[in-house]
Every structure is written in C-alpha cells, then in structure tokens.
Structure 1
Amino acid sequence: MLQINFKKLNLFFIVLLFSLNCFGQQSDTLKVLFVGNSYTYYWNLPQMVSALAKGGDTVIKARKSTLGGATLMQHWEGERGLETKNTISEGEWDVVVLQNHSKSTIANPEGFMDYGKKFIGLVKETGARPLLYMTWARAYNPLMQKTVSTGYRSLAETTGVDVAKVGEVWEQARLLRPDLELFDSDGSHPSPLGTYLTACVFYKILTGKASKGLSGRLSGIDQDGETLFLSGSSDGDAEFIHQLVDKMIVEKMVWE
C-alpha cells in the first residue's frame, strides 16, 4: 500500500512555490545595458529610465558602458579601456541599447554600418534584443537630422532590429516648442530636460506603456542610501513631452 510522507510533500510544495515566486520576480525585471558615450551618460539617462519605470510600476534595471566621445568601433576594439563586449556577453541582458558617436553617420557612414552590425550580431548571440539609439542634430544645424535618421533607419532595416527615434522626437519638440531648453550650453549634449525627453522615449518603447501621467520630478537612491535628484521638469513641460512621445512613439518591443 502506497504511503505518503506528508511532511516531505509539504516541503516539496513550499520549495516549488518559492522557486516559482523567484522566477516571477526575475521575469518582471527588465535588464537593460546602455552602450554609448556622453549622449548616454549625461544627466544619468539609464537611471532616469529606471526611475520613470518605477513610477509606472515597472522594474527596469539599467546599467551602462560608456565613455566620452566613444564610437562603437572603439567599444568593439576595446580601446581606451572599454570592456563593452565582455559586459554584453556576461551580463544576461534583456535589451542592449546601442548609441554611436553623434556624427558617426556623417563622418564615417561605412564604419557606422560595419560596427553597428558587429554589435547587433553579438547582442543577438547572447539572446538579448538590440535597440538602436538614434541621436539628434546639433543645435546649430537641425539639417543634420536627416542624415542621422537615414543612417539609423538603414541599419535597423538591414539587421531587422528596433530603433528608438530619439532624434526625430527632439526635432519635433524643437519645432513645436523652441522655448524648451533641450541642449546643454555647448549646443550638443542634452540638458536635464533633454535627457528627460530621451528617457521618456525609452520608457515608452521598453514598457509599451504611455508616458502620460508620469512625474517630471525624478529621484533615485545611491549606494549609501542618499537621495539623488535626477529631474526637476515643470508640470507643463513634462505634460508636453509625454503627449509628444506618446503620439510619435507607437512601436513597442514585445517580450517573449
């Protein structure tokens, strides 16, 4: 006659439920690596994306591999102390965001395509999803955007990956609200508000959720438990940015 050890059976179900719960917690967290240069690390873009996600009841664990002025070629070749390829291969990322130098599509279009394809191939090999980060035109020459957009769109279409059209959202924001201070004083890098706009684009694509209703005032916690203030956008500016992003960004990445 079959005898059932109820103590062992109960222990089995406890372990099973614990394992399922842990798996659920892991699957609810999106691990995103941002690869690029100062256009990515200015005003803590990855952390701002995480803070926006928290406000939208989503968990995004964002990290970065960046260096000022770096190109994807330098990331690939490991120049200037960069270890991006190892970071991608060993990180178990869900998404890897790829941002090349802001003038790469203009100064070296062949290299832009070549190293873009190399990184996209590497990211796909790890099982992660590549996401291209289209940058914006300099303040002094809005006409740059056409070349930048063409380069990123061509790379995306050739490799079958998604592109975050940040530069085109910036372009529209500048047309509709020329009073917005999206640029740093150098006319190239983003201001805190420019980074906030960029973060909203990534939030919309990564989560598939509308940015409407998110706070323009964001903060985080450092390793010592101190509060870090990431964004202080006014309610009016944040509302405009949300409406613009939600209108222009209709794509979303689908997680399997």
Structure 2
Amino acid sequence: MHRWFLLLLLFCTPAFAAPPGPAPPQRILFVGNSLTYVGNLPATFAAMANANGHAVHAAMIVEGGATLDQRVADGSVQRALADYKPAVLVLQERGGDLLCMPMEEACFQSAQAIQALAQAGRTAGARVVLLGSYQAHPRASAELVEKEAAAAEQAGIAYVEISESLRRLSGEAPALAWYHADGMHPGPALTLLDAIQLHRTLFGVIPAQGFDVAAPIYTTSSGLHAELREADAAAPRPDTPQGIHYDGTMLGQFNSMLDSSGK
C-alpha cells in the first residue's frame, strides 16, 4: 500500500518547470542614409540600450544620400520586415526632403514614403517611429520639426525630435563634437543625442549608464549599400574606425540639458 501511495503521488504531482531563460533581444531595424550611419547610430543605440537594461539587437538598411522613397521603390524594407522581423522600425529621412529640397516634389514623395513604410511596418507587427533630422538655421530648424511631426502624425507613428534639441544643446555645450569633420554629418555628440532621444521614446526612461560601442564607427566614406546588415557587422572598408566609449558623465550632462529644456 505504501508503494502504491508513493506512485500515486509521483503521477499526480506536477513537474517543476525549469526557470525561464532570458528574453531574446528586441530587434530594431534602422532605415536611412548617411545621417544614420555616420557615427553608427544603430550600433550606438543598441549598446546604450543593452547597458541600461534593455536587450536590443540592431540592424540597418542605409546608403549615402538615400531617400525613404527609394526604399519603398526597391522593396528592401518590406523584405527585411519579413526576414529580420524587427519589433521596432526606425525611419530617418534626408535632412531637406520634407522641406521640399532639393525639389518641390520631394515633400510629397517623402510624406508618401513615410506612410507606406509605416503601414508596412505595422502590418509586420513592428512599432514604427520617425527619427528627426536637423537643420542649422533657426527658421529652417523650426520648420523642419513642424514638417516632420506632421508627417509622423499623418502616418500614425511616433516622432523623435532632434533639430531644435540639437540647436539648444550645441549652444549650451559648444565644445562637444556635434558634427563630423565635414561640418555636416553627425559627430559623436549628435549620435549620442539621437540615441538618447530614441531611448526615451521607446523605453520611456532616461539612459544613465555609460557604454562602449564595439562596432565600426562609420565616416562619410562607408562603402555601405542599401541592404540589410547587422549594425556591428564588419565594415566594408578596412580603414573604418572601430569602437567608441561614451561615459556616464557625458550621459548625465546630456540628460540634464534635455531636462532643463523640457525635452
């Protein structure tokens, strides 16, 4: 009887489940141009997120001078949504297209492309955000932010503002490397600003921990083409700089400036 009772307990007692493993990294796909890859924003954002408690893996489809309209036309984003299956799709347009530069129809083409890619992202189950670009002139900057916000609202996606924050912060801390050596593309400080603003939008918290980016830090001569690639993949050009460190003190400075400006 005692033996039968033990067997009955064995069959009736539920097995202890193994503790769940860590959740897989959240996949984030960046689609853009040289504003996105100079400084390697995708890898910088992933390193920041991982250092601050959010498991992230980043990939990108980027090419110098590219527009979002070109990405709609070539179908590269739609294919990446199917193959890479990102949880988040980050779109970044060229700096002047929504200001109707270099031609009047650029405004319409850009707005249409943002809507098309937003719809494709939603259909694939991704959260879609429009990451702003920037203009140095105060009037152009304000107009750009207005146009970008309107395009994002029309497409039903979140907007991450950059241009006006860049103007304010670069005025408060002019010694920081806001721009690349060409005076136009992102320098380390601007890449960090992009990453912080995106982190706040996606996770709703301020990143505080410093981090290392173990990935190519692309310059304007990147050798990149509009194809899906991991953000930390080996660079096409062997002379591409490797890695950069952002310390917690610098993040604290940025967060303080952004908080004081209401951004």
**Does the Cα contact within 8 Å between 1:182 and 1:193 map onto a contact in 2?**
yes
Listed as ranges, the matches of 1:53-202 within 5 Å are 53-78=49-74, 83-106=76-99, 107=101, 108-138=106-136, 141-202=137-198
**Which structure 1 segments of 5+ residues have no match?**
251-256
Partner of 1:253: none
Partner of 1:35: 31
Deviation at 1:242, TM superposition (A): 2.0
Identity across matched positions, percent: 21
> Per the alignment, in what secondary structure is the counterpart of residue 23 of structure 2?
helix
Deviation per residue, 1:110-139 (Å, 9 max, x gap): 11111111111111111111100111114x
> Per the alignment, in what secondary structure is the counterpart of residue 115 of structure 1?
helix
Measure, in 2, the Cα distance between the counterparts of 1:164 and 1:4: 61
Whichever residue aligns with residue 131 of structure 2, its letter is Y
Whichever residue aligns with residue 35 of structure 2, its letter is Y
> Per the alignment, in what secondary structure is the counterpart of residue 175 of structure 2?
coil
> Per the alignment, in what secondary structure is the counterpart of residue 25 of structure 1?
coil
Deviation at 1:247, TM superposition (A): 5.2
Larger Rg computed on CA atoms: 2
Over 3 Å off, 4+ runs? 3-10, 221-224, 231-235, 245-250
> Per the alignment, in what secondary structure is the counterpart of residue 143 of structure 1?
helix
> Per the alignment, in what secondary structure is the counterpart of residue 30 of structure 2?
strand
Pair 207,36 (structure 1): closer, same or farther in 2 beyond 3 Å = same
Give the paired residue count: 231
Measure, in 1, the Cα distance between the counterparts of 2:195 and 2:48: 8
Partner of 2:256: 243
Pair 176,147 (structure 1): closer, same or farther in 2 beyond 3 Å = same
**Does the Cα contact within 8 Å between 2:91 and 2:130 map onto a contact in 1?**
yes
* TM-score (normalised: structure 1): 0.78
**Does the Cα contact within 8 Å between 1:31 and 1:93 map onto a contact in 2?**
yes
Whichever residue aligns with residue 119 of structure 1, its letter is L
**Does the Cα contact within 8 Å between 2:196 and 2:206 map onto a contact in 1?**
no
Deviation at 1:143, TM superposition (A): 3.0
Deviation at 1:160, TM superposition (A): 2.5
> Per the alignment, in what secondary structure is the counterpart of residue 62 of structure 1?
strand
Measure, in 2, the Cα distance between the counterparts of 1:207 and 1:115: 26
Deviation at 1:147, TM superposition (A): 2.3
Deviation at 1:145, TM superposition (A): 0.9
Measure, in 1, the Cα distance between the counterparts of 2:149 and 2:127: 17
Deviation at 1:168, TM superposition (A): 2.3
Deviation at 1:151, TM superposition (A): 1.4
**Among residues 197, 204, 208, which one is paired with 2:204 in the alignment?**
208
Measure, in 2, the Cα distance between the counterparts of 1:54 and 1:32: 12
Q: Per chain length, whose mean CA-contact separation is higher, i.e. which structure has more relative contact order (CA < 8 Å, sep 6+)? A: 2
Deviation per residue, 1:4-30 (Å, 9 max, x gap): 5947976x654xx46xx25x613xx32
> 2:227 matched to 1:229?
no
Measure, in 2, the Cα distance between the counterparts of 1:160 and 1:134: 15
**Does the Cα contact within 8 Å between 1:117 and 1:159 map onto a contact in 2?**
yes
Deviation at 1:104, TM superposition (A): 0.7
Instruction: Give the number of the structure whose residues are more often helix, by fraction.
Output: 1
Whichever residue aligns with residue 46 of structure 2, its letter is S
**Which structure 2 segments of 5+ residues have no match?**
216-231, 235-241
Pair 13,134 (structure 1): closer, same or farther in 2 beyond 3 Å = same
* TM-score (normalised: structure 2): 0.77
Deviation per residue, 1:185-237 (Å, 9 max, x gap): 222200122211211111222222213x322x52326679xxx52235693x4
Q: What RMSD, in angstroms, separates the aligned Cα atoms of the two structures? A: 2.9
Deviation at 1:57, TM superposition (A): 1.8
Pair 146,223 (structure 1): closer, same or farther in 2 beyond 3 Å = closer
> 2:46 matched to 1:50?
yes
**Does the Cα contact within 8 Å between 1:169 and 1:244 map onto a contact in 2?**
no
